[in-house]
Protein backbone atom coordinates (compact mmCIF):
# COMPACT_ATOMS: atom_id res chain seq x y z
CA UNK A 1 0.00 0.00 0.00
CA UNK A 2 2.24 2.80 -1.18
CA UNK A 3 -0.20 5.51 -2.23
CA UNK A 4 -2.53 7.21 0.21
CA UNK A 5 -6.27 6.73 -0.33
CA UNK A 6 -5.79 4.14 -2.97
CA UNK A 7 -8.48 1.61 -2.18
CA UNK A 8 -12.14 1.05 -1.43
CA UNK A 9 -12.45 -0.70 1.92
CA UNK A 10 -15.28 -3.19 2.43
CA UNK A 11 -16.02 -4.22 6.00
CA UNK A 12 -17.63 -7.67 6.04
CA UNK A 13 -16.16 -8.32 2.59
CA UNK A 14 -16.06 -12.09 3.04
CA UNK A 15 -19.82 -12.17 3.46
CA UNK A 16 -22.47 -12.76 0.86
CA UNK A 17 -22.97 -9.23 -0.54
CA UNK A 18 -19.36 -8.23 0.13
CA UNK A 19 -17.92 -11.01 -2.00
CA UNK A 20 -20.05 -9.99 -5.00
CA UNK A 21 -19.06 -6.39 -4.49
CA UNK A 22 -15.35 -7.27 -4.50
CA UNK A 23 -15.77 -9.02 -7.84
CA UNK A 24 -17.58 -6.06 -9.41
CA UNK A 25 -15.12 -3.45 -8.10
CA UNK A 26 -12.06 -5.44 -9.20
CA UNK A 27 -13.64 -5.82 -12.65
CA UNK A 28 -14.01 -2.05 -12.73
CA UNK A 29 -10.26 -1.72 -12.10
CA UNK A 30 -10.58 -0.54 -8.48
CA UNK A 31 -8.17 -1.40 -5.69
CA UNK A 32 -10.12 -3.22 -3.00
CA UNK A 33 -9.29 -4.05 0.61
CA UNK A 34 -11.56 -5.94 2.97
CA UNK A 35 -11.70 -6.68 6.66
CA UNK A 36 -13.76 -9.58 7.95
CA UNK A 37 -13.68 -11.58 11.16
CA UNK A 38 -15.37 -14.57 9.45
CA UNK A 39 -18.11 -14.65 12.09
CA UNK A 40 -20.76 -15.28 9.42
CA UNK A 41 -18.59 -14.80 6.33
CA UNK A 42 -16.39 -17.46 4.80
CA UNK A 43 -12.87 -17.49 3.46
CA UNK A 44 -14.06 -19.48 0.44
CA UNK A 45 -16.06 -16.39 -0.62
CA UNK A 46 -12.87 -14.38 -1.14
CA UNK A 47 -10.51 -17.17 -2.14
CA UNK A 48 -11.00 -16.59 -5.89
CA UNK A 49 -9.65 -13.02 -5.52
CA UNK A 50 -6.94 -13.75 -2.95
CA UNK A 51 -4.09 -13.50 -5.47
CA UNK A 52 -5.49 -10.56 -7.43
CA UNK A 53 -2.88 -7.78 -7.50
CA UNK A 54 -5.50 -5.11 -6.66
CA UNK A 55 -6.95 -7.03 -3.73
CA UNK A 56 -5.96 -7.15 -0.09
CA UNK A 57 -7.75 -8.97 2.69
CA UNK A 58 -7.38 -8.80 6.45
CA UNK A 59 -9.04 -11.43 8.63
CA UNK A 60 -9.80 -9.38 11.72
CA UNK A 61 -12.53 -7.40 13.39
CA UNK A 62 -13.46 -3.75 12.86
CA UNK A 63 -13.07 -3.60 16.65
CA UNK A 64 -9.29 -4.13 16.31
CA UNK A 65 -8.54 -0.42 16.25
CA UNK A 66 -4.92 -0.42 15.12
CA UNK A 67 -5.53 -2.73 12.18
CA UNK A 68 -8.77 -1.11 11.16
CA UNK A 69 -7.36 2.38 11.38
CA UNK A 70 -4.52 1.48 9.03
CA UNK A 71 -7.00 0.22 6.45
CA UNK A 72 -9.23 3.30 6.66
CA UNK A 73 -6.21 5.58 6.37
CA UNK A 74 -5.53 4.25 2.87
CA UNK A 75 -9.17 4.18 1.77
CA UNK A 76 -11.03 6.85 -0.20
CA UNK A 77 -14.33 5.05 0.54
CA UNK A 78 -15.53 2.62 3.20
CA UNK A 79 -18.47 0.37 2.39
CA UNK A 80 -19.64 -0.82 5.78
CA UNK A 81 -21.35 -4.19 5.47
CA UNK A 82 -19.99 -5.89 8.61
CA UNK A 83 -22.88 -6.65 10.94
CA UNK A 84 -24.67 -9.33 12.89
CA UNK A 85 -27.16 -10.49 10.25
CA UNK A 86 -30.11 -12.85 10.02
CA UNK A 87 -33.27 -13.09 12.11
CA UNK A 88 -32.25 -16.38 13.75
CA UNK A 89 -28.84 -15.06 14.84
CA UNK A 90 -30.48 -11.93 16.20
CA UNK A 91 -33.13 -13.77 18.20
CA UNK A 92 -30.50 -16.12 19.64
CA UNK A 93 -27.73 -13.55 20.30
CA UNK A 94 -29.29 -10.15 20.92
CA UNK A 95 -26.33 -8.74 22.89
CA UNK A 96 -23.87 -9.64 20.15
CA UNK A 97 -26.22 -8.10 17.56
CA UNK A 98 -26.54 -4.78 19.32
CA UNK A 99 -22.84 -4.52 20.14
CA UNK A 100 -21.66 -5.45 16.66
CA UNK A 101 -24.09 -3.25 14.81
CA UNK A 102 -24.05 -0.13 16.94
CA UNK A 103 -20.48 -0.04 18.21
CA UNK A 104 -19.06 -1.43 14.97
CA UNK A 105 -20.60 1.41 12.99
CA UNK A 106 -19.34 3.94 15.50
CA UNK A 107 -15.81 2.59 15.01
CA UNK A 108 -16.17 2.94 11.27
CA UNK A 109 -17.45 6.51 11.45
CA UNK A 110 -14.79 7.61 13.92
CA UNK A 111 -11.99 6.24 11.77
CA UNK A 112 -13.56 7.67 8.61
CA UNK A 113 -13.78 11.11 10.21
CA UNK A 114 -10.12 10.95 11.19
CA UNK A 115 -9.08 10.38 7.57
CA UNK A 116 -11.95 12.21 5.80
CA UNK A 117 -13.07 9.02 4.09
CA UNK A 118 -16.48 8.62 2.41
CA UNK A 119 -18.76 6.03 4.00
CA UNK A 120 -21.69 3.98 2.77
CA UNK A 121 -23.56 2.17 5.56
CA UNK A 122 -25.67 -0.94 4.94
CA UNK A 123 -29.02 -0.74 6.68
CA UNK A 124 -32.09 -2.85 6.15
CA UNK A 125 -35.78 -2.84 5.22
CA UNK A 126 -36.29 -4.26 8.73
CA UNK A 127 -36.16 -0.64 9.97
CA UNK A 128 -39.64 -0.11 8.48
CA UNK A 129 -40.83 -2.33 11.33
CA UNK A 130 -44.60 -2.56 11.56
CA UNK A 131 -45.22 0.03 8.86
CA UNK A 132 -48.15 -1.08 6.69
CA UNK A 133 -48.29 1.76 4.22
CA UNK A 134 -47.06 0.17 0.97
CA UNK A 135 -44.65 0.90 -0.69
CA UNK A 136 -42.11 1.92 1.96
CA UNK A 137 -40.46 5.27 1.26
CA UNK A 138 -37.27 6.40 2.95
CA UNK A 139 -38.81 9.35 4.82
CA UNK A 140 -41.79 7.40 6.19
CA UNK A 141 -42.38 7.26 9.94
CA UNK A 142 -41.21 4.09 11.64
CA UNK A 143 -42.99 1.90 14.21
CA UNK A 144 -40.99 -0.90 15.83
CA UNK A 145 -42.20 -3.63 18.17
CA UNK A 146 -41.57 -3.85 21.89
CA UNK A 147 -38.00 -3.89 23.22
CA UNK A 148 -38.94 -7.13 25.02
CA UNK A 149 -38.93 -8.84 21.63
CA UNK A 150 -35.35 -9.49 20.55
CA UNK A 151 -36.19 -9.63 16.86
CA UNK A 152 -36.56 -5.84 16.87
CA UNK A 153 -33.00 -5.42 18.15
CA UNK A 154 -31.70 -5.83 14.61
CA UNK A 155 -33.96 -3.08 13.21
CA UNK A 156 -33.32 -0.80 16.19
CA UNK A 157 -29.54 -1.27 16.00
CA UNK A 158 -29.52 -0.53 12.27
CA UNK A 159 -31.68 2.53 12.86
CA UNK A 160 -29.17 3.83 15.40
CA UNK A 161 -26.49 3.27 12.71
CA UNK A 162 -28.53 5.43 10.34
CA UNK A 163 -28.96 8.21 12.92
CA UNK A 164 -25.27 8.08 13.74
CA UNK A 165 -24.19 8.15 10.10
CA UNK A 166 -26.46 11.09 9.31
CA UNK A 167 -25.29 12.88 12.46
CA UNK A 168 -21.66 12.59 11.30
CA UNK A 169 -22.77 13.99 7.94
CA UNK A 170 -24.60 16.96 9.48
CA UNK A 171 -22.29 17.76 12.34
CA UNK A 172 -18.88 17.00 10.79
CA UNK A 173 -19.61 17.19 7.05
CA UNK A 174 -18.45 13.61 6.65
CA UNK A 175 -19.82 12.20 3.37
CA UNK A 176 -22.07 9.37 4.61
CA UNK A 177 -24.80 7.60 2.63
CA UNK A 178 -27.22 4.96 3.91
CA UNK A 179 -28.66 2.06 1.92
CA UNK A 180 -31.62 -0.01 3.08
CA UNK A 181 -31.42 -3.43 1.46
CA UNK A 182 -34.63 -5.42 0.95
CA UNK A 183 -34.02 -9.19 0.99
CA UNK A 184 -30.99 -9.56 -1.22
CA UNK A 185 -30.49 -13.01 -2.73
CA UNK A 186 -27.93 -14.80 -4.88
CA UNK A 187 -25.13 -17.37 -4.86
CA UNK A 188 -22.98 -17.63 -1.72
CA UNK A 189 -25.85 -16.67 0.60
CA UNK A 190 -26.11 -19.34 3.26
CA UNK A 191 -29.26 -20.68 4.89
CA UNK A 192 -27.27 -21.05 8.09
CA UNK A 193 -28.68 -17.94 9.76
CA UNK A 194 -32.30 -18.33 8.70
CA UNK A 195 -32.20 -16.90 5.15
CA UNK A 196 -35.20 -18.21 3.26
CA UNK A 197 -34.08 -18.63 -0.36
CA UNK A 198 -30.97 -20.81 0.14
CA UNK A 199 -32.93 -22.90 2.64
CA UNK A 200 -35.84 -23.48 0.23
CA UNK A 201 -33.46 -24.19 -2.64
CA UNK A 202 -31.52 -26.83 -0.73
CA UNK A 203 -34.70 -28.40 0.68
CA UNK A 204 -36.12 -28.62 -2.85
CA UNK A 205 -32.95 -30.03 -4.40
CA UNK A 206 -32.90 -32.72 -1.66
CA UNK A 207 -36.66 -33.40 -2.08
CA UNK A 208 -37.13 -32.61 1.61
CA UNK A 209 -40.19 -30.74 2.94
CA UNK A 210 -40.01 -27.00 2.31
CA UNK A 211 -40.57 -25.32 5.64
CA UNK A 212 -42.63 -22.14 5.30
CA UNK A 213 -42.85 -20.17 8.55
CA UNK A 214 -46.33 -18.85 9.38
CA UNK A 215 -49.09 -19.27 6.79
CA UNK A 216 -46.93 -18.24 3.82
CA UNK A 217 -49.08 -15.23 2.89
CA UNK A 218 -46.35 -12.82 4.03
CA UNK A 219 -44.70 -11.26 0.99
CA UNK A 220 -41.27 -9.89 0.06
CA UNK A 221 -39.55 -8.24 -2.89
CA UNK A 222 -36.32 -10.16 -3.40
CA UNK A 223 -33.47 -8.39 -5.14
CA UNK A 224 -30.65 -10.02 -7.09
CA UNK A 225 -27.24 -9.37 -5.55
CA UNK A 226 -25.97 -8.30 -9.00
CA UNK A 227 -28.51 -5.47 -8.94
CA UNK A 228 -27.55 -4.61 -5.38
CA UNK A 229 -23.85 -4.23 -6.19
CA UNK A 230 -24.77 -2.05 -9.19
CA UNK A 231 -26.70 0.22 -6.85
CA UNK A 232 -23.79 0.44 -4.42
CA UNK A 233 -21.21 1.26 -7.10
CA UNK A 234 -23.48 3.92 -8.59
CA UNK A 235 -24.12 5.55 -5.23
CA UNK A 236 -20.51 5.78 -4.10
CA UNK A 237 -19.65 7.49 -7.38
CA UNK A 238 -22.45 10.02 -7.00
CA UNK A 239 -21.53 13.18 -5.07
CA UNK A 240 -25.11 14.02 -4.15
CA UNK A 241 -25.82 10.58 -2.67
CA UNK A 242 -24.26 11.62 0.63
CA UNK A 243 -26.47 12.72 3.50
CA UNK A 244 -29.27 10.57 2.05
CA UNK A 245 -31.00 7.23 2.69
CA UNK A 246 -31.83 4.94 -0.24
CA UNK A 247 -34.05 1.89 -0.56
CA UNK A 248 -32.46 -0.86 -2.65
CA UNK A 249 -34.92 -3.59 -3.50
CA UNK A 250 -36.64 -5.65 -6.15
CA UNK A 251 -39.90 -4.73 -7.84
CA UNK A 252 -41.60 -8.13 -7.88
CA UNK A 253 -43.67 -8.87 -4.78
CA UNK A 254 -44.07 -12.55 -4.01
CA UNK A 255 -45.62 -14.42 -1.09
CA UNK A 256 -43.37 -16.91 0.69
CA UNK A 257 -45.74 -19.72 -0.29
CA UNK A 258 -45.44 -18.69 -3.93
CA UNK A 259 -41.68 -18.52 -3.55
CA UNK A 260 -41.69 -22.13 -2.32
CA UNK A 261 -43.84 -23.15 -5.30
CA UNK A 262 -41.52 -21.43 -7.76
CA UNK A 263 -38.46 -23.14 -6.26
CA UNK A 264 -40.21 -26.53 -6.44
CA UNK A 265 -41.12 -25.95 -10.09
CA UNK A 266 -37.64 -24.78 -11.06
CA UNK A 267 -35.88 -27.70 -9.42
CA UNK A 268 -38.49 -30.31 -10.52
CA UNK A 269 -38.67 -31.27 -6.86
CA UNK A 270 -41.10 -33.62 -5.16
CA UNK A 271 -40.86 -31.64 -1.90
CA UNK A 272 -44.12 -30.98 -0.07
CA UNK A 273 -44.69 -27.55 1.51
CA UNK A 274 -44.97 -27.70 5.30
CA UNK A 275 -46.15 -24.75 7.38
CA UNK A 276 -44.27 -24.16 10.64
CA UNK A 277 -45.78 -21.80 13.23
CA UNK A 278 -43.53 -18.80 13.99
CA UNK A 279 -43.36 -19.68 17.69
CA UNK A 280 -41.87 -23.04 16.74
CA UNK A 281 -39.44 -21.55 14.23
CA UNK A 282 -38.37 -18.67 16.47
CA UNK A 283 -39.81 -17.76 19.86
CA UNK A 284 -43.23 -17.31 21.37
CA UNK A 285 -44.78 -14.03 20.27
CA UNK A 286 -42.46 -13.65 17.25
CA UNK A 287 -43.68 -10.83 15.00
CA UNK A 288 -43.16 -10.80 11.27
CA UNK A 289 -43.83 -8.07 8.74
CA UNK A 290 -46.69 -9.09 6.47
CA UNK A 291 -45.61 -7.16 3.37
CA UNK A 292 -42.37 -5.45 2.50
CA UNK A 293 -42.33 -3.47 -0.73
CA UNK A 294 -39.77 -0.76 -1.47
CA UNK A 295 -40.32 2.55 -3.17
CA UNK A 296 -37.06 2.88 -5.12
CA UNK A 297 -37.85 6.16 -6.87
CA UNK A 298 -35.19 8.06 -4.91
CA UNK A 299 -32.27 6.07 -6.24
CA UNK A 300 -33.91 5.91 -9.68
CA UNK A 301 -34.17 9.71 -9.79
CA UNK A 302 -30.53 10.04 -8.73
CA UNK A 303 -28.80 7.49 -10.91
CA UNK A 304 -31.44 5.71 -13.00
CA UNK A 305 -30.97 2.49 -10.99
CA UNK A 306 -33.71 -0.08 -10.82
CA UNK A 307 -33.65 -3.84 -10.34
CA UNK A 308 -33.07 -5.59 -13.68
CA UNK A 309 -33.14 -9.29 -12.83
CA UNK A 310 -36.47 -11.07 -12.41
CA UNK A 311 -36.99 -13.41 -9.46
CA UNK A 312 -37.02 -16.41 -11.81
CA UNK A 313 -33.64 -15.32 -13.29
CA UNK A 314 -32.15 -15.07 -9.82
CA UNK A 315 -33.55 -18.39 -8.63
CA UNK A 316 -32.02 -20.05 -11.71
CA UNK A 317 -28.70 -18.32 -10.97
CA UNK A 318 -28.76 -19.75 -7.42
CA UNK A 319 -29.72 -23.20 -8.65
CA UNK A 320 -26.73 -23.14 -11.05
CA UNK A 321 -24.46 -22.16 -8.20
CA UNK A 322 -25.47 -25.20 -6.15
CA UNK A 323 -25.15 -27.40 -9.24
CA UNK A 324 -21.61 -26.15 -9.90
CA UNK A 325 -20.56 -26.23 -6.25
CA UNK A 326 -21.52 -29.65 -4.83
CA UNK A 327 -19.36 -29.09 -1.74
CA UNK A 328 -21.40 -25.99 -0.85
CA UNK A 329 -24.60 -27.96 -1.38
CA UNK A 330 -23.30 -30.61 1.03
CA UNK A 331 -22.49 -27.95 3.65
CA UNK A 332 -25.93 -26.40 3.30
CA UNK A 333 -27.61 -29.82 3.50
CA UNK A 334 -25.85 -30.46 6.79
CA UNK A 335 -27.53 -27.48 8.43
CA UNK A 336 -31.04 -28.21 7.10
CA UNK A 337 -31.98 -30.25 10.14
CA UNK A 338 -31.66 -27.14 12.29
CA UNK A 339 -34.72 -25.67 10.57
N1 LIG B 1 -28.59 -10.06 2.66
C2 LIG B 1 -29.68 -9.33 2.88
O3 LIG B 1 -30.76 -9.67 2.44
C4 LIG B 1 -29.58 -8.04 3.66
C5 LIG B 1 -30.77 -7.33 3.86
C6 LIG B 1 -30.71 -6.16 4.59
C7 LIG B 1 -29.51 -5.68 5.05
N8 LIG B 1 -28.37 -6.38 4.84
C9 LIG B 1 -27.12 -5.83 5.37
O10 LIG B 1 -26.10 -5.96 4.40
C11 LIG B 1 -24.85 -6.23 5.04
C12 LIG B 1 -24.22 -7.47 4.45
O13 LIG B 1 -25.09 -8.57 4.65
P14 LIG B 1 -24.80 -10.03 4.06
O15 LIG B 1 -26.11 -10.58 3.67
O16 LIG B 1 -23.70 -9.99 3.10
O17 LIG B 1 -24.40 -10.79 5.39
P18 LIG B 1 -23.11 -11.64 5.75
O19 LIG B 1 -23.32 -12.20 7.11
O20 LIG B 1 -22.83 -12.59 4.66
O21 LIG B 1 -21.99 -10.51 5.79
C22 LIG B 1 -21.64 -9.80 6.95
C23 LIG B 1 -20.13 -9.96 7.11
O24 LIG B 1 -19.68 -9.18 8.21
C25 LIG B 1 -18.66 -9.92 8.88
N26 LIG B 1 -18.53 -9.37 10.23
C27 LIG B 1 -19.43 -9.42 11.24
N28 LIG B 1 -18.94 -8.79 12.32
C29 LIG B 1 -17.71 -8.31 11.97
C30 LIG B 1 -16.71 -7.56 12.65
N31 LIG B 1 -16.88 -7.17 13.92
N32 LIG B 1 -15.57 -7.25 11.99
C33 LIG B 1 -15.37 -7.65 10.71
N34 LIG B 1 -16.30 -8.36 10.02
C35 LIG B 1 -17.44 -8.68 10.65
C36 LIG B 1 -19.15 -11.37 8.83
O37 LIG B 1 -18.15 -12.32 9.04
C38 LIG B 1 -19.71 -11.41 7.40
O39 LIG B 1 -18.74 -11.81 6.47
C40 LIG B 1 -25.15 -6.33 6.54
O41 LIG B 1 -24.87 -5.09 7.14
C42 LIG B 1 -26.65 -6.60 6.59
O43 LIG B 1 -27.22 -6.12 7.78
C44 LIG B 1 -28.38 -7.57 4.16
pLDDT in tens, 174-219: 999 999 999 999 999 998 877 899 999 999 999 999 999 999 999 9
Best residue among 17, 43, 129 to mutate for probing ligand 1's pocket (most ligand atoms within 8 Å of CB) is 17
What is the residue-wise DSSP string for 63-118?
T-HHHHHHHHHTEEEEEE--S--SHHHHHH-HHHHHIIIIIHHHHHHHHHHHHT-E
What pLDDT is stored for residue 336 in this prediction? 75
The residue from 154, 168, 213, 282 that is catalytic is 154
Q: Closest ligand 1 atom, CA of 42?
A: 39
How many residues does the structure list for the chain? 339
- Alpha-carbon torsion, ordered 32, 21, 231, 181, to 10 deg: -120
- The DSSP 8-state label assigned to residue 175 in this structure reads -
Average pLDDT, the chain: 94
Predicted confidence (pLDDT) per residue in 254-296, tens digit: 999 999 999 999 999 999 999 998 877 766 666 778 899 999 9
Q: How many angstroms separate the alpha carbon of residue 18 from the centre of ligand 1?
A: 8
- The DSSP 8-state label assigned to residue 285 in this structure reads T
Distance, CA of 78 to CA of 238 (rounded, Å)? 14
Nearest CA to ligand 1 atom 41: 81
Indicate the burial class of 239 (C-beta count within 10 angstroms; 0-12, 13-18, 19 or more): exposed
For the domain spanning 185-221+252-292+309-336, the CATH number is 3.90.25.10
Nearest CA to ligand 1 atom 9: 122
Distance, CA of 292 to CA of 140 (rounded, Å)? 13
Q: How many angstroms separate the alpha carbon of residue 97 from the centre of ligand 1?
A: 11
Ligand 1 pocket, residues with Cβ under 6 angstroms: 11-12, 14-18, 35-41, 61-63, 81-83, 85, 100, 104, 122, 124, 181, 183-184
Could you give the residue range(s) of every CATH 3.90.25.10 domain in the chain?
Answer: 185-221+252-292+309-336
Q: How many Cβ atoms sit within 10 Å of the Cβ of residue 13?
A: 28
Predicted confidence (pLDDT) per residue in 286-337, tens digit: 677 889 999 999 999 999 999 999 999 999 999 999 999 999 999 998 887 6
Could you give the residue range(s) of every CATH 3.40.50.720 domain in the chain?
Answer: 7-184+224-248
Partners of residue 57 on adjacent β-strands: 34
Architecture per CATH, 7-184+224-248: 3-Layer(aba) Sandwich (3.40)
- The upper half-sphere exposure of residue 314, i.e. CA atoms within 13 Å in the direction of its Cβ, equals 25
- Please tell me the least confidently modeled range out of 21-25, 76-80, 127-131: 127-131
Whether the pTM exceeds 0.85: the reply is: yes
| Contact call for residues 292 and 125 (beta carbons, < 8 A) | yes
Say whether 321 is catalytic.
no
Task: Give 332's contacts (C-beta < 8 A, 6+ positions apart).
Answer: 190, 191, 192, 198, 202, 322
Distance, CA of 219 to CA of 258 (rounded, Å)? 9
Amino acid sequence: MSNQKEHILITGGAGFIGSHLIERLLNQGEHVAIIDDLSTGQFSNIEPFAKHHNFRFVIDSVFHEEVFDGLVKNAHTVIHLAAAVGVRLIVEHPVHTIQTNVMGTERVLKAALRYKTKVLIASTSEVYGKENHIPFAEDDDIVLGSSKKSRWAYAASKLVDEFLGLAYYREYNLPVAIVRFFNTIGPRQTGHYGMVVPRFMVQAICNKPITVYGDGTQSRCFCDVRDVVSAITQLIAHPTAFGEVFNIGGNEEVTIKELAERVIKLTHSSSPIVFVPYEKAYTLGFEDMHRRVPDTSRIFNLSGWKAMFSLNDTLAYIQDYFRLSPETLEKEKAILDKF
